[in-house]
A and B are shown apart, each in its own frame.
Chain A
Amino acid sequence: MALASLLPPELPVNRPGFFGLAGRCELQAPGPRPAPGPPGLAPPAWGLPAAGDAGIELLHGTTTLAFKFQEGVVVAVDSRATAGSYVASQTVKKVIEINPYLLGTMAGGAADCSFWERLLARQCRIYQLRNKERISVAAASKLLANMVYQYKGLGLHMGTMICGWDKRGPGLYYVDSEGNRLSGTAFSVGSGSVYAYGVLDRGYAPDMPAEEAYDLARRAIYQATYRDAYSGGEVNLYHVRRDGWVRVSTDDVAQLHAHYRGDPQGDGAA
């Protein structure tokens, strides 16, 4: 890929703080952290950013899910971003619109996900122009997987699901920065995925009508936000159909909570 190959691979020496003198010595980030000792003979941490580093917004705190069914692919995500125990944002857009018929989800490092998926969008468009036909979901996910594999071990942190509809039908692939690429009927990614899987696996049927599928996805994310501290905000729901994706709904988790408790007004009156 032209752009990726122009970027110098991120060597640990290039990152500030490699030699033990973190650039922000005055600003001690909250959270557990080893006291910065003298830059002695201890080998430096290879590649990974220090946990609880306030400078980097990490999104491992996330719940995203997607599943295939007869009417396409349903994609649902939460919208909370955390840096340690600090809630950095409740309104993050974790679904990336690669093009009108391909969606990517975001889990892990926000910058990693959005950067690489934008690069993927560029590559997909070039493919479409050169070959006069849309890129398949399999090919798009493979391009992404091959792009990030070149940076394996250098600290990329990304777990994404590529969702679309091509001539083979609905397509869903899980791709991560370790180099995994899996095709499947249903995936959930993030710290809240364990809770979402519980709901999803219970209610899933391949021949569900669309409305039922939306309800299932919404419920799964809601339950995950209920139990996982690092997931919350809103539930963003998308549906990828034969003619492209549509954004189905955005629901605040607090309102969903009231709704599921049988209190649609949300004012505790019921």
Chain B
Amino acid sequence: MAFAGLTADARIIINRARVECQSHKLTVEDPVTVEYITRYIASLKQRYTQSNGRRPFGISALIVGFDDDGSPRLYQTDPSGTYHSWKANVIGRNAKTVREFLEKNYTEEAIATDKEAIKLAIRALLEVVQSGGKNIELAIIRRNQPLQIFSAKDIESQVAEIEKEKEESEKKKKKSI
């Protein structure tokens, strides 16, 4: 789960979600589907919009994972308690800009391989963060494997590659003019 908003609120939600995942496994003898746990988190958030003396959770979350049948899932929730399934999404202060970028550049080719998909994600973020691997964190989740978090070095090298590609394409443009 990735989130944008109040960190303290996020920790509460994550804790509740972890407990629910185990409870589900105990009573149903099956791991949760991504949709189930998203629905749980969403209904938790909704309850807080309709109770006495409580304020809503101040986070939007992106929940990713694989279902039992192997299909990848991405869900987004927000403080109101709604949730939707997405192929690609962005949350946070500059979400709009990055979402526009993804809408233009999220194509079948761009996600054809691991490398290309990673580059797409970094390029999307580079639209709004100051250049440098120091401002980016990247994680990949692959089917039946634990979450892999990239080291700062790997990100730096990817960023460097992207910058080089940018320069080259600009050179080409200049030449053609």
Contacts and interface: CB of A to CB of B under 8 A. Distances in A.
Interface stretch (A27-35, A86-94, A137-145, A235-243): A137-145
B15 interface: no
B29 A142 contact: yes
Interface string B2-35: 0000000000000000000000000111100100
Contacts of A131: 33, 36
A79 interface: no
Contacts of B29: 136, 138-139, 142
A136 B27 contact: no
A178 B27 CA distance: 18
Contact of A146 (B27, B33, B36): B27
Interface residues of B, number: 6
Contacts of B28: 136, 138-139, 142
What does DSSP make chain A's interface, helix, strand, loop or mixed? helix
B27 A142 contact: yes
Contacts of A143: 27
A142 B27 CA distance: 6
A136 B30 CA distance: 9
Interface string B23-60: 00001111001001000000000000000000000000
A35 B142 CA distance: 73
Interface in A109-159: 131, 136, 138-139, 142-143, 146
Nearest to B36: A131
A143 B23 CA distance: 12
A62 B25 CA distance: 34
Nearest to A137: B29
B40 to A, nearest CB: 11
A139 B27 CA distance: 6
Q: Which 3 residue pairs are nearest across A and B when measured between Cβ atoms?
A: A139-B28, A138-B29, A142-B27
17 contacts: A131-B33, A131-B36, A136-B28, A136-B29, A136-B30, A138-B28, A138-B29, A138-B30, A139-B27, A139-B28, A139-B29, A139-B30, A142-B27, A142-B28, A142-B29, A143-B27, A146-B27
Given A136-B28, A136-B29, A139-B30, 10 more contacts: A131-B33, A138-B28, A138-B29, A139-B28, A139-B29, A142-B27, A142-B28, A142-B29, A143-B27, A146-B27
Interface of A: 131, 136, 138-139, 142-143, 146
